[in-house]
Amino acid sequence: MSHEDFLSPWGLLIIIVVGVGIILIALFLFICFLTPGCIGYECFKKRRDKSVPLRTKQEIGNLKLNDISYRSWRLGSLYENDNNGTIIENRESHRDSFNSTNVQCENMERSSTLNLIYSDKQKMMKEFPTELTMSLQYLPPYNDIITGKLVIGIEALYGLPPKQYNGTLEPYVTLNIVKQSWSHRNKQKLHSFRTRGIRHTANPIYKETFIIANTKPQEAKEWILDIVAYDHDRYANHTELCSLKVSLKHMKNVFHSPEIHLFNYKMKPSYQMYF
C-alpha cells in the first residue's frame, strides 16, 4: 500500500478502526484486573497473597505478655476480667479435636493459676489498704475585709474493699472537723460535710471541695479532720468501710503558702467492713 493509499478515505478508516480496537482491548484488560471473579483479578490476587511475608504471621502468633506495656494491661484494653484479676489472652485455636487427658490437665493448671492469683490479690489488699487523696489550701485574709478561708478537697479513693455476694458499691465520704481537747469524750464538732455517692466502683473520683470561712491559722491548728468512707445501702443501714483522722497541728506549710497541697493517706479498715 503506497503513501497515497494511506491518505485515501479507506486508509484513514482502517487506521481509525485499528486505534479504536487497541483502546477497547486495553480497557478490557484494565477492567479484568479490577473486577472480582475475572481471570486477571484472580491471578493477581494469588500472586499478591504469596508475596506476603511469613514473618508477620509468626510475630502475631508468638505474641508474649512481656511485649505488652504495663499501661495497656492496667487499662484493660488487651485483657478483660475484673472479677478475679486474672489475665486471659484472646487466641484462636486451629485444632479440630483435643484429647480428654490434655483438657483435664489444662483445667487443673488453669484452676491452680486462678487460686494463686486470687491469693495474691488478697495479700495485696492487706498490704495496701484503701488510699485517700486529699487537698488542702489556705487563703489568707485581705484588707481586713476578706477573711481567711480553708479549702478542703476530697479528690479520690482507691482500693475500697469489695462487697459481700458480689454486690455493687456506692461509696461516699463524710468529713467532720473536730476541735482537739484533753478529754476524748468532750470533742466539739465544728463542721460537717459529705460527698456525693458514686455507684458501681471501688475507686471513686470525687473532686469535691469544702470551704470553711473565717478561718484563723491559730485556731485551725487545733482541728482534726475526721474522714470516714461509707457504702450507701438503699435497703439497710449504711456500712462504714474505712476511716482516717488527720491533725492540722503540724501542717505549717499549708498555712504559710496559698498553694494547693496534695496528700495521700492510707485509711484504716473499719470493723463493719465485710468481704
144 shares its domain with 261: yes
pLDDT at residue 275 in the model: 39
C-beta separation of 153 from 144 below 8 A: no
- CATH number, domain of 177, equals 2.60.40.150
Is 142 within the bounds of a domain?
yes
Rounded Cα–Cα distance for residues 207 and 198 (Å): 12
Is 265 within the bounds of a domain?
yes
Is 255 within the bounds of a domain?
yes
**Domain total of the chain:** 2
Is 94 within the bounds of a domain?
no
85 Rama class: left (phi>0) / alpha (psi -120 to 50) / beta:
left
C-beta separation of 262 from 134 below 8 A: yes
263 shares its domain with 135: yes
Rounded Cα–Cα distance for residues 213 and 190 (Å): 12
pLDDT at residue 263 in the model: 96
Segment 246-251 long-range contacts (CB within 8 Å, at least 24 positions apart) = 246/134, 247/180, 247/223, 248/220, 248/221, 248/222, 248/223, 248/224, 249/180, 249/221, 249/222, 251/136, 251/221
145 shares its domain with 36: no
For residue 37, give its domain range.
10-41
257 shares its domain with 150: yes
User: Which three cell numbers mark 117?
Assistant: 492469683
Rounded Cα–Cα distance for residues 215 and 221 (Å): 10
Which segments of the chain have a pLDDT < 50? 52, 54-99, 103, 111-114, 116-121, 124, 274-275
Is 96 within the bounds of a domain?
no
Is 66 within the bounds of a domain?
no
Q: Give pLDDT tens digits for 218-272.
A: 999 999 999 999 998 887 788 899 999 999 998 989 999 999 999 999 999 986 5
Is 63 within the bounds of a domain?
no
Is 185 within the bounds of a domain?
yes
Sheet holding 171-179, edge to edge: 188-194, 171-179, 223-231, 239-247, 268-269
